[in-house]
Amino acid sequence: MEKRPIKIAIAGNPNSGKSTIFNALTGGNVSVGNWPGVTVEKCEGCSVYQGHRVTVVDLPGTYTLDAWTLDERIARNFIVEEKPDAVVAVVDAANLERNLYLVIQLLEMGAKVIIALNMIDIARSRGIEIDTDRLANALGVKVVPTVAARGEGIDELRQVIHDIGRTPITPRPLQIAYGEEIEQAITRISTLLTAKVAETEKRWWALKLLEGDTGGDNFTEAEALARTIRAELEQRHKHDAQSAIVERRYGFIRGVIRECVRTRPGISRALLISEAIDGVVLNRWLGIPIFFGLIALTFYLVFVLGTPLSELIGKLFALIGQLVSLTLSAVAAPEWITSLITDGLIEGIGTVLKFLPNITILYLVISLMEDSGYMARAAFVMDRFMHLLGLHGKSFIPMIMGLGCNVPAILATRTLETRKDRILTILVNPFMSCSARLPIYILFTSAFFTRGRFVVLLSLYLLGIILAVISARILRWVFFRSEEAPLIMELPPYHAPALRTVLRPTWFRTWLFIRRAGTVIAPAVVIIWILARLPWGVAYASAESLLGKIGGLFAPLLKPAGFGYWWAAVALIAGVVAKEVVVGTIATVHSTESGRLTEIIQSYFTPLSAYAFLVMSSLYLPCVATFAAIRRELGWRWAFFTAGWTLLLGWLIATGIYQIGRLIL
């Protein structure tokens, strides 16, 4: 028997447990990163069932397929263009009515839909009984009840995917009666679509155009007709075609629900608890203090819990360095090899990996906030504030994620509805101090600001946020002087975060950090080591070395900011590869154990120039990965714009602080 590979897509509303189903089906065998809550990258996983390869694509969570947000367009285009063998629609059983709206659209498209009726336990606890057989009959699809968080129903779902995915029969698209006038409009538009789309897809395309979506160059004629018809209907009824279509769909859903759902009066405990929490967290007076309290707590944990652990790792690397150099001298290895391995590799990588505990804790807390449902509340509470600052409440989530890493944060902006908001949120994101900058902060604050350390750290984060806000205001004023997108955002019920769904992304992000230490930071450190050695014969990492020459070229530019040292320039240049490299470079150049690094920088910097250096390294240039993410999302122009803007502001502010500080102190 031929074993044809099956390709399926997973669609569903945000918060329907889509990612959990995806993880359960693929067993975590995923090829692209999956950022929790915001599965905006196209994640592909793979599993084998009864000898068949099953490729599973996780579509972005959407409420509809209107092509309103980028997420919706990604999901829609995938189903239209790639025609997966089956689409698993993950439906929140406790929230059936709104969730079915997406399912209806999938059925109208003619997709082979399988419904995973997820969180059926929660629905039951709320007194909602769903007759799955009737639901399956009413919609003409297979329905599998699941509790993905506990793995219930997953085997059955696999079997159904296997059965449906292999049958070559494509279902007839669902036809909802939209009433005489709209039906006539559909027929008129359909005739223009002949030979452009398949016969079975004509109705769906006609509907979409009538709803006001654009279909590309192929459809200009039909689109124009749709526009005319919409205007006609609007004039005749004062009621627009688009809303009428949505209402008809909901009307159909209500009919289905009447048939298959029984609700007992009562209320579930879980929902009561969730509302009680919201009563406090969304309180008029407590909301903002609680939010800032949580952020403060996060950073307190990062430093207080993380620092002892990171010192332990530092000692471990020092020990490894000693052991290696002892072994190498025992086998009489040439001096330069010993130098490369101990001064270069072990020092460089060790200095960076030392910060692993701090970074893991930060990621853990961010994942907890996302998974528990607090992130949406934070956006809700902060919306007015963000509005004043010229940003959207939803921009807030990418901004907070930026504190972890700017790259997933930039991807997370895809949930924003307008391009303007997206561009603004992306452009100001590099000002959010990512965790890779932490090593620099920790090194310098422990050397210079032992007493006021927390205040100095906080000031760096705040400075970044303030600049983000000012930049957003300026950019909005210069480029996009128009109204903001609405804040139409679901506040999902809280749930106790599942260990797996929190730990997986935490581990994944931490692993990326470790891998970067091997793939990006190690080569960077080796290149720096080589440049520090050349030309042959100069003293290692002296001002006469190639490295010294390059640094010396830029050093004068940094002099007004108080740190015109050639190696400071080199560290900043190398930091563009990844911000962690700044510290690694300083360690490599001075070829010293990280323990003594403190003394060395103390001999070069004053507290004032150290602060200026911190400001500069916090603000200047996004790292290469961030730059690439901006380019991919917005193109070269905006990527270079961000680079220039951050470099300019970083230099101006560092210089300003140093010069003004010198006058005062």
Partner 1 sequence: MKRLSELDIGEWGIVRSVTGKATLRRRLATMGFIPGVAVAVKHCAPMGDPRAYELLGYCLSLRQEEADLIEVEPLPVYPLSTAPPGKVKVVGIEGARGVRAKLAQLGITENTSLVNRATPAGPVIIELSGKELQLGRGVAKKVKVTVIPEENGKATD
Binding residues for partner 1 (CB under 8 A): 63-64, 66, 68, 94-95, 97-98, 101, 127, 179, 211-212, 230, 239-240, 242-244, 246-248, 250-251, 254, 264-267, 271-272, 275, 278-279, 282, 284-285, 287-288, 380-381, 383-385, 387, 393, 486-493
**Least gap, CB of 387 to partner 1 (angstroms):** 8
**Least gap, CB of 480 to partner 1 (angstroms):** 17
Cα(72)–Cα(65) distance, integer angstroms: 5
Q: How far is CA 650 from the centre of its chain?
A: 25
**Can you say whether residue 238 is alpha, beta or left, with left for phi > 0 and alpha for psi between -120 and 50 degrees?**
left
**Least gap, CB of 479 to partner 1 (angstroms):** 21
Backbone angles phi, psi at 44, to 5 degrees: -115, 135
**Least gap, CB of 101 to partner 1 (angstroms):** 6
Give whichever of 289 and 452 is closer to partner 1, judged by the CB atom.
289
> What value, to the nearest 5°, has the Cα angle with vertex 160 and ends 154 and 166?
135
Give whichever of 387 and 632 is closer to partner 1, judged by the CB atom.
387
DSSP string, 426-469: HHHGGGS--GGGHHHHHHHHHHH-SSSHHHHHHHHHHHHHHHHH
Helical residues (DSSP H) of 30-125, grouped into ranges: 70-77, 96-109, 120-125
Cα(325)–Cα(340) distance, integer angstroms: 11
Q: Which among 597, 601, 595, 585 is positioned nearest to 529, based on CA atoms?
A: 585
130, β-bridge pairs: 261
**Least gap, CB of 494 to partner 1 (angstroms):** 11
Give whichever of 487 and 526 is closer to partner 1, judged by the CB atom.
487
**Least gap, CB of 433 to partner 1 (angstroms):** 25
Give whichever of 180 and 217 is closer to partner 1, judged by the CB atom.
180
**Least gap, CB of 97 to partner 1 (angstroms):** 5
Give whichever of 279 and 635 is closer to partner 1, judged by the CB atom.
279
Cα(161)–Cα(122) distance, integer angstroms: 24
Give whichever of 142 and 208 is closer to partner 1, judged by the CB atom.
208
Give whichever of 121 and 278 is closer to partner 1, judged by the CB atom.
278
Encoded tokens for 598: 């403190």
CB neighbour list of residue 214: distance below 8 Å, 6 or more residues apart: 67, 223
Give whichever of 13 and 646 is closer to partner 1, judged by the CB atom.
13
Encoded tokens for 638: 């905006």
Q: How many CA atoms lie within 13 A of 401 on its CB side?
A: 27
Cα(568)–Cα(575) distance, integer angstroms: 10
**Least gap, CB of 381 to partner 1 (angstroms):** 6
